[in-house]
């Protein structure tokens, strides 16, 4: 990769995070060296330290940014005051669509938590619990209104999220099913799971 002398902080910064995300997802955090990331970006390893204090912070920032984006997008796209069934359908479709568009970030969000410091781990986990809490709230509202029959809303929330996130392990753009078809199938399963 060609490079020029001079100032590139506005370009190089995002490229570093992008390269780290891709490489961490493909080979794992511990297996990727700073030199590999630098090579992908087209700089020398030392230059990376203009953008991150160390390797661990690079990972933590990627995970935190992903969780932030998830919560912000979910808030922005969620209609207010929906009936529980509508809210659950929206959550289902949002989750599949959002995660399918960010396969690498979702992957490292599950795989690389153990490589975070205790403090960073706590921060990321708290954000994840907020997201899980939103689904749980939808389920509880549906139970309260009589729309859903669920013995344990917390467990059901975790079970549904695991089921939906599982799409990422096999979904391929060129596969047998389109994302729209997958949304339909999964919404059908979610709907029946909570049905009275």
List residues binding DNA (CB under 7 A): 3, 5-9, 11-12, 32-36, 38, 42-47, 49-51, 53-56
3-state secondary structure of 67: helix
Q: Is 120 in the site for a copy of itself (CB under 8 A)?
A: no
Residues 16, 51: contact at Cβ < 8 Å?
yes
User: Which residue from 191, 161, 185, 189 is spatially nearest to 85, judged by alpha carbons?
Assistant: 191
Taking the complex as a whole, how short is the minimal distance between the CB of residue 7 and a copy of itself, in angstroms?
34
Q: Which of 169, 172, 178, 180 binds a copy of itself (CB under 8 A)?
A: 169
Selection from DNA, a copy of itself, none that 36 binds (CB < 5 to 8 A by kind) is DNA
Q: Is 138 in the site for a copy of itself (CB under 8 A)?
A: no
86: tokens are: 């509508």
Q: In whole angstroms, what is the distance from residue 142 CA to residue 149 CA?
A: 8
3-state secondary structure of 152: coil
Selection from DNA, a copy of itself, none that 144 binds (CB < 5 to 8 A by kind) is none
Q: Is 75 in the site for a copy of itself (CB under 8 A)?
A: no
Helices of type H across the chain: 9-27, 34-41, 55-77, 84-100, 103-111, 118-145, 153-165, 179-194
Q: Is 29 in the site for a copy of itself (CB under 8 A)?
A: yes
Q: Is 14 in the site for a copy of itself (CB under 8 A)?
A: no
What is the Cα gyration radius of the chain? 20
User: Which residue from 133, 163, 138, 132 is spatially nearest to 150, judged by alpha carbons?
Assistant: 138
Q: Is 156 in the site for a copy of itself (CB under 8 A)?
A: yes
Which spans of this chain sit near a copy of itself (rule: CB under 8 A)? 26-31, 111, 114-115, 151-152, 155-156, 158-163, 165-167, 169-170, 177, 182, 184-186, 188-189, 192-195
């Amino acid at each position: 990769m060609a490079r020029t002398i001079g100032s590139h902080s506005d370009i190089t910064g995002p490229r570093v995070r992008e390269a780290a995300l891709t490489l961490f997802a493909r080979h794992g955090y511990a297996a990727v060296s700073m030199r590999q990331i630098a090579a992908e970006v087209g700089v020398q390893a030392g230059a990376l330290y203009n953008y991150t204090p160390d390797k661990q912070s690079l990972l933590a920032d990627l995970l935190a940014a992903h969780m932030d984006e998830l919560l912000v997008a979910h808030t922005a796209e969620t209609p207010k005051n929906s009936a529980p069934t509508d809210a659950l359908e929206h959550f289902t479709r949002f989750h599949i669509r959002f995660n399918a568009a960010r396969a690498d970030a979702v992957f490292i969000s599950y795989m690389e938590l153990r490589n975070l410091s205790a403090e960073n781990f706590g921060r990321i986990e708290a954000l994840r619990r907020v997201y899980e809490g939103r689904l749980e709230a939808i389920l509880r509202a549906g139970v309260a209104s009589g729309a859903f029959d669920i013995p344990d809303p917390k467990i059901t929330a975790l079970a549904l999220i695991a089921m939906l996130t599982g799409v990422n392990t096999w979904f391929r753009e060129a596969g047998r099913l389109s994302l729209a078809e997958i949304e339909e199938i999964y919404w059908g399963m979610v709907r029946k799971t909570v049905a009275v």
